[in-house]
Structure 1
C-alpha cells in the first residue's frame, strides 16, 4: 500500500497525510543535517587509496542499481582493471564483519545482491554495514577500483564518482521524503552527481538511457540455457524491489506465464512454499537475484532469467573516460 501512496497517489495518502507529512519533514531535516556534518568535516570520513565509485539512488526501493554495478565491473574488467565491490549486505546476517564473499557463501549471510554480483562477475566482494571496513578488506585482494553497491547516502566513505540510478517508469513518485514519499534525499542532489542513469521509461536530456536486456532462461540445477518462450505453463515469482518489472519482462518475451507471485524484497523463501507454487504449472521461473537463495533446494524444472544493463556506446565511452581520468590521478606523484 505504501508504494501506491508514493507512486500512484492513492486516496489513502491524503487520509494519512497529517501523520506522514510531519514525519517526512523530520526525515528531511535529519538527512540534511547528517550530510552537512560529513561535508563540513564534523564527522570523520574514510578515503581509500584507490578510486571509489558509488552506484546508488535517492529513492527507496529497487531501481536497477545492481545491474549497473555488474555492468561497471564487467566493463572495467574488460579494460584490464581489477574492480572490487562493497555492499552493506542488506538482508544478510554474517557471524562477523567484514565478510569477504565466496561462491559458496550463503546469501543469508552475504545478502542477495553481493551473492549475485560474485556469481556473475567473479570479482572480489566484501560486505560490511560499515563500508570503509569492507573497502579495507578488499584492499587485501589486489583491487585497483572500488565500486559500492548502493551507499549514496553513506557519507562516512569518501567517493570519487557518483552514479544515481532512476526508475524510468516511477521516477520520484510524489517527490516527498520517507515515509510520505520515496525520497531519501531531495531532487537537488541530482545536480551534484556525475552520472544519472535511467532504467527504462524516457530518459531526460541530462540522463543516460539504460535498458535491461534479458537473455535465455538458465536452469538452476544443470545450467542449461533455453529461450524463455520455449518453456510452457510458467509460474513466475519475484522477491525484488519492484516485482511487476520482472513480470512485464516475461510478457515482452512472449513467455507463457499462467501465474505470478510477488514477494517482499529480500524475503527468505521456504522450500515447501516454492515447491507448492511450482506445482501450479510445469516450470518455475524467477529472477537471478532470487535464484541465489534457491540453488540448494532447486527442482529440475526451476529456472531463472538473467538480465544485463544495456548502455549506448557513446555513454559507455564517457563513463570509461571519467573513471580512467580519476584512476590516473591516483597513480600520479601528486597523490
Structure 2
C-alpha cells in the first residue's frame, strides 16, 4: 500500500452511529466544562475529545476529523432546524426518532417544501442533543433565517405543538441504525446557488473557528509566558536577597578579621616593649662620662671611674642598673671590691 493510500484512509474516517453518539456526548461535556468560549471549542477541548474517541474506538482520529464531523453534524441540524423550527403540528419523538405530525400537516408541508418529504419516515438520531449544541447558533443569527422567511413561515403554520416543546432532551439509544449522514433522498435536487452559498457559509464559519482557536491558544501561551516570567522574577529576587545576606555576612567576617588583626598588632607591640625592657642596655663611652658627671664624682677621680666602668661591661650594668641616687655609692663599692681582689 502506497503512502498516499494510507493517508487517504486516515483522512476518510468512516463514522458509525456509536462514534457519533460518543462524539456528541463529548461535545456536550466540553461545553459544560466551559471549553467552548463564545461558541467556539478551544484547542484544549479538541485534545480532550480526540483522547476520548481514541480510548473508546482505538481508531486513528485527529482533530481535523472531529472538526469535519462537527461541521457535518451542524449543517445537517441546520437543515432540520430551518425546516421544522417553529412549525405547529410537528414534534420530534425521542422514542421513534421521527418528526411526527398528522398526515394532513405533512401533506401541506410537502406541498410547500417538497424537500421535506425525505424526513417523513427517516429517523433522526440525537436531535435532542444536537438541539442543545447548535440551536443557540441558529437563534442568535449565526445561522438564523431572515425576518421575511420567518414571517412567511409563521403565516403558513398549522395548529399543533412546536418542535422544541416536544424535545424532552432525554436521550435513548436508537433502535434504528440511521445516521445523520444517511438522510433519504426524495429525488429533489438542491439548487446550485444554494449549495454554493452553504459551502461559502460553512467555509467562513470554519475559518472564524480556526482563528478563534489560534487566538485562544495564543492567549494561553501568553499567560503561560507571563506566569513563567513571574516565577523567574520571584526566583531572581530570592537569589538577590540571599546574595545580599551573604555579602552582609562577609562584611561582618571582614570586620571581625580587622579587629583580630588590630589586637594582634597591639600584642606584638607589647611584646616588643617587654623584649626591649628585658634586654640589657648598652651604654656608650659618652653616656658613661655624662653619668659620672651627674653622680657628683670629684674631679680628680673622674678619669679613674671612667676607665673602671669602660673596661668592664658588667661594672657598667651593675652601676647603671640601680636608681640614679644610689649610683655613686654603688660605683665606689665596686671599685673598692676590685682593689681588694
Give the structure with the larger helix fraction.
2
Q: Normalising by the residue count of structure 2, what TM-score does the alignment of the two structures yield?
A: 0.19
Q: Normalising by the residue count of structure 1, what TM-score does the alignment of the two structures yield?
A: 0.19
Which of the pair has more CA radius of gyration? 2
Q: Which has the higher contact order (CA 8 A, sep 6+)?
A: 1
Give the structure with the larger strand fraction.
1
